[in-house]
A and B are shown apart, each in its own frame.
Chain A
Amino acid sequence: DVKVTQSSRYLVKRTGEKVFLECVQDMDHENMFWYRQDPGLGLRLIYFSYDVKMKEKGDIPEGYSVSREKKERFSLILESASTNQTSMYLCASTDRWAGDEQYFGPGTRLTVT
């Protein structure tokens, strides 16, 4: 079974803090994704990566950056957290190509106060 894990289920940070969200997958998948999910807005793609050290902006990259130094790990960074970044963050990975079935992690609920 594919397993995608995220470093925290719940996180509370203060405005202006630097925040790291970690995602690890154990199936040697090429592609990894970061989404945020908000009520009424659905899932929105922040960034994705199709290879180590490669990254592509999604629909809402502003205020975020990512890092993929190893194939299994994809990190989302909030350089200076703001209250409008309070959300559920979901990581996903896919094999072969980015349009294949997405396997999601359990999510990190981030609250920025």
Chain B
Amino acid sequence: RKEVEQDPGPFNVPEGATVAFNCTYSNSASQSFFWYRQDCRKEPKLLMSVYSSGNEDGRFTAQLNRASQYISLLIRDSKLSDSATYLCVVTLLNSGGGADGLTFGKGTHLIIQP
């Protein structure tokens, strides 16, 4: 069974701090990795893809550790507006090149406090 695990939190973090959380996945054949952000009572939206070499977008850094089967998200200089639930997503490719399973983690709830 494909599984994606996240610490549900909540993570209560003071504004300006750096916060990081991980997402572990059980299937070593997982191919693609993403972080989505979901605000309260809103739909999820893509935050960033996670590449093997790691990637950075402003204050956000995502990394992949295939050996230990986890992805991470680091937020620097956190803002009040970063308060949200962060979902990790893991996909597998089937023999036809299509996604054979797109699994969402249950999300990590982040609260940035003034």
B43 touches A42 (CB 8 A): no
Question: Is residue B97 within 8 Å, beta carbon to beta carbon, of the partner chain?
Answer: yes
Q: How far is the CA of A8 from the CA of B91 in the complex (A)?
A: 29
Question: Is residue B46 within 8 Å, beta carbon to beta carbon, of the partner chain?
Answer: yes
- Which A residues are in CB contact (< 8 Å) with B20? none
Question: Is residue B31 within 8 Å, beta carbon to beta carbon, of the partner chain?
Answer: yes
Assess A43 versus B104: contact at CB under 8 Å? Given A98-B99, A104-B45.
Answer: yes
Of A33, A90, A99, A107, chain B has the most CB atoms within 10 Å of the CB of A99
- Which A residues are in CB contact (< 8 Å) with B46? 101-102
Chain B residue with Cβ nearest A97:
B98
Q: How far is the CA of A33 from the CA of B105 in the complex (A)?
A: 17
Q: How far is the CA of A97 from the CA of B102 in the complex (A)?
A: 11
Chain A residue with Cβ nearest B49:
A101
Assess A106 versus B98: contact at CB under 8 Å? Given A42-B104, A42-B107, A43-B87.
Answer: no
Chain B residue with Cβ nearest A90:
B43
Interface size counted on chain A using CB atoms at 8 A: 18
Question: Is residue A112 within 8 Å, beta carbon to beta carbon, of the partner chain?
Answer: no
Assess A42 versus B87: contact at CB under 8 Å? Given A101-B46, A104-B45.
Answer: yes
Of B32, B42, B45, B102, chain A has the most CB atoms within 10 Å of the CB of B102
Interface size counted on chain B using CB atoms at 8 A: 24
- Which B residues are in CB contact (< 8 Å) with A42? 87, 104-107
Q: How far is the CA of A35 from the CA of B44 in the complex (A)?
A: 12
Q: How near does chain B come to A96, taking the closest CB pair, in angstroms?
A: 10
Q: How near does chain B come to A57, taking the closest CB pair, in angstroms?
A: 12
Assess A106 versus B42: contact at CB under 8 Å? Given A50-B98, A97-B97, A99-B91.
Answer: yes
Q: How near does chain A come to B103, taking the closest CB pair, in angstroms?
A: 8
Q: How near does chain B come to A101, taking the closest CB pair, in angstroms?
A: 5
A41 touches B102 (CB 8 A): no
Q: How near does chain A come to B50, taking the closest CB pair, in angstroms?
A: 12
Question: Is residue B93 within 8 Å, beta carbon to beta carbon, of the partner chain?
Answer: yes
Q: How near does chain A come to B6, taking the closest CB pair, in angstroms?
A: 9
* Nearest 8 pairs of A and B residues by beta carbon: A99-B99, A42-B106, A98-B99, A104-B43, A99-B91, A43-B104, A101-B46, A99-B32
